[in-house]
Chain A
C-alpha cells in the first residue's frame, strides 16, 4: 500500500500490559492522512501507552499498528522515519547545546541538515536566544518548545504531540497551534493528546476518548459536542466506574 493512500495510523485490536495492569485493551482506530486527531482521556487511560507503542518505544502484547501502511513491528525503520513524537515527559540530554542537538537529530533520520527548516522551527518556537544553551539551562516551557522542534526536525508525515502545551505560556501556545495548523494544511497528520479540552475542541476534526485502556468514544468533534460541551461529554464518559460508554 502506498504511503500517501494508506491510513496515517491504523491500530487494530491492540493490547498492552504492564505486569498485571492492562494499560490498553482491544483498542482499534484509524486516523486518515491530513487529520488533526485528538486522543483524550484521564491520567492512566492508556493514551501515552498507545502513542509509545506506535512509536516503537515499547512492545505490544497483541494487535497491530500500521503507519501509512507500514507495520511498526515488521518495518520499524520505515515507520520511525514517518513519525515525529514529542514525549509527555521532558527528556534531558545535557551534553550538547540544543542547537547542535537539533542539527544532529535530523541526521539520526538519515537526512541532510535543512538549515532553512531548522531556522524556521527555531524562529516559530522562539528558541533563537537559547540555541547555545544546554537543556539544563532552559526553563520548563523552553524545554518543551525544544522538544516540539525536535519532533519536527525530520519533517515527519505523522506528528504525535503528547501533552505539548503543559507548562507552556499562552503566547507560545498560540504560535505553536498556528504552526501546527499551517503544516497540517500542507498535509502533515497530527495526533494530539491534551488535558486542555478547549484546545482539542478548537483544533481537532475528530476526537477519541479513552478510559481504562479502552476506547469509549470516537467521533467528529462536531458530533461529540452537538448537544453538550466537550468537558461534559468527557466527564460523563470517563467518570463511570467501569469506564464503559454511557
Chain B
C-alpha cells in the first residue's frame, strides 16, 4: 500500500492556473439547485400538481359548467391556462426563495459565498433551476388537464415563450424576496401579501375586462395580468390584450427585477455580513 507521501507525489496539490472554467462553475451551481429540488420531489413537484388538480375539479368541472362569460371557449378552457401559469409562477418563486433563504438561515450560504460564483452565475444558476422545476410542474398540470378538457392551442410557441418568461420573472422575484427576508415571517409576507393577491387578482379565474371600473384599470398595474393574458391568448387565441404587448411588458419587468437581483448579489449587506 502506498504511503500518503507517495500518493501526494502522484497528485498535483494545486489546481494549475488556467484549469478553472466559469462555465463549469455555473454548471455546478445549476446542478446543485436541480438536485436540491429533485431530492424533495414529493414536496416540490407532486404537491403542486395535486393542488392544481383540485382547482381543476372545483373550478373547471364542478362550477365551470354553470359559468357563461360570453367567450368562444368554455370556462374550463379559460381556467386551464391560468392554472398552468399559476403552477409555473408559484413553483419558480418557491424554488429560488426557499433555496436561497434556507441556505441563508442554515448558514450554508457561506459555502457559496467563498466560491468564485459571480452575481451573473448566482442569477442564472438559481433562475434556470427554478424555471426547470416550474416547467415540469406546468407540464404535468397540462397533462392532467387533458383528462378534463382539450385546449385549442392557437400558438404553442408563443405559449412556451410566455411560460418561460413567467417562470424567469418569478424566479427573480423569489431571489429578491429571499435576499430581503431576515426570517420566515418576512418571507411569508412576500408570499401571502404580495404573490397570492397578484395571482388571484390577475385574472386567473375571470376575464379582467369584465370587471367594473376602476378594478379593471387597477388590474392593469398587476404584472400577472400581462403574463396570464399573454399565455391565455397564445393557448386559446382569445384574450384582453395582444401577445406582443404582454410579452413586451413582461420582458421589461424581467430586465428591472434582473438588474435589482444582480445589484443585490454584488452589493447587499444582507448577504455578506
Contacts and interface: CB of A to CB of B under 8 A. Distances in A.
Chain A partners chain B? yes
Interface of A: 3, 55-59, 76-78, 80-81, 83, 85, 87, 89, 91-96, 100, 104-112, 114, 116-117, 120, 124, 150, 154-157, 178-179, 182-183, 186-188
B107 interface: yes
Contacts of B31: 104, 107
Nearest to B4: A182
B272 A107 contact: no
Contacts of A94: 106
Contacts of B24: 107, 110-112
A55 B115 CA distance: 9
B36 interface: yes
Contacts of B107: 89, 91-92
B124 to A, nearest CB: 14
A85 B115 CA distance: 10
B28 A104 contact: yes
B114 interface: yes
A179 B13 CA distance: 12
Given A110-B24, A186-B8, A155 B117 contact: no
Contacts of B32: 96, 104, 108
Contact of A59 (B13, B39, B103, B272): B272
B7 interface: yes
Contact of A117 (B11, B36, B40): B11
Closest 10 CB pairs of A and B: A107-B28, A110-B20, A108-B115, A93-B108, A77-B116, A80-B116, A155-B15, A110-B25, A110-B21, A95-B36
Contacts of A120: 7-8, 11
Interface in B24-55: 24-25, 27-29, 31-32, 35-36, 39-40
A109 B40 contact: no
B244 interface: no
A93 B4 contact: no
Contact of B35 (A91, A95, A186): A95
Interface string B3-21: 0110110111111010111
Contacts of B115: 80, 105, 108-109
A109 B40 CA distance: 26
Given A78-B116, A107-B28, A120-B8, 5 more contacts: A89-B110, A94-B106, A108-B117, A110-B21, A116-B10
Nearest to A97: B39
B273 A109 contact: no
A160 to B, nearest CB: 10
B258 to A, nearest CB: 21
- Size band of the B side of the interface? 35 or more
Nearest to B107: A91
A80 B114 contact: yes
Contact of B27 (A93, A107, A124, A188): A107
Given A107-B28, A183-B8, A56 B273 contact: no
B273 A59 contact: yes
A149 to B, nearest CB: 12
Given A58-B272, A182-B5, A157 B106 contact: no
A55 B110 CA distance: 10
B273 A58 contact: yes
A81 B118 CA distance: 12
Contact of A83 (B5, B19, B106, B114): B114
B160 interface: no
Interface in B160-201: none
B31 to A, nearest CB: 6
Nearest to B109: A91
B192 to A, nearest CB: 25
Contacts of B21: 110-111
A76 B36 CA distance: 26
Contacts of B110: 57, 87, 89, 91
Contacts of B20: 81, 109-111
A95 B98 CA distance: 12
B157 to A, nearest CB: 34
26 contacts: A57-B110, A57-B114, A58-B273, A59-B272, A76-B116, A78-B116, A83-B114, A91-B107, A91-B110, A93-B103, A93-B108, A96-B32, A96-B39, A104-B35, A106-B28, A107-B31, A108-B25, A108-B29, A109-B116, A110-B23, A110-B24, A110-B116, A111-B20, A183-B8, A188-B13, A188-B14
Contacts of A108: 25, 28-29, 32, 112, 115-117
A110 B113 contact: no
A92 B108 contact: yes
A110 B40 contact: no
B72 interface: no
Contact of A81 (B12, B15, B35): B15
